[in-house]
Amino acid sequence: MANIKSAKKRIKVIDKKTARNKRVKAHIKAILKSFEAAVAEGDMETAAEQLKLAEKKLMQAVAKGTLNKKAASRKVSRLTKRFNEAKNA
């Protein structure tokens, strides 16, 4: 355990950031699962809404430093590709 006051504060700050990052990532995973479920069922309206929401949440996570920008862009690209393939099939 830390003895210095600033080190104790850093531990608290890191714990808060870790908790926030876990919440954000869990929320994104839930959105991605609902997107995949909608695509599997063939419900393109719901899938389109979930795709839009997923893109928004991924970019918000990038802005807060939870995700890397390129990782989020890659996920959005793959989701869009999956959506377009399902829509045209």
Cα separations (Å) of 14 from 10, 17, 19, 57, 87? 6, 5, 8, 22, 43
4 falls within a domain: no
pLDDT-based confidence at residue 1 (cuts at 50, 70, 90): confident
Considering the domain boundaries, does residue 16 fall inside one? no
Residue at token pair 């949440």: 57
pTM to 2 decimal places:
0.87
Our count of domains for the chain comes to: 1
> Any alpha helices (H) in the chain, and if so which ranges?
5-41, 44-64, 69-88
Domain residues for the domain of 66 are: 28-88
pLDDT tens column, 49-61: 999 999 999 999 9
Residue 77 lies in a domain: yes
Tens digit of each residue's pLDDT (9 = 90 or more) over 60-82: 999 999 999 999 999 999 999 99
Is residue 19 domain-resident? Answer: no
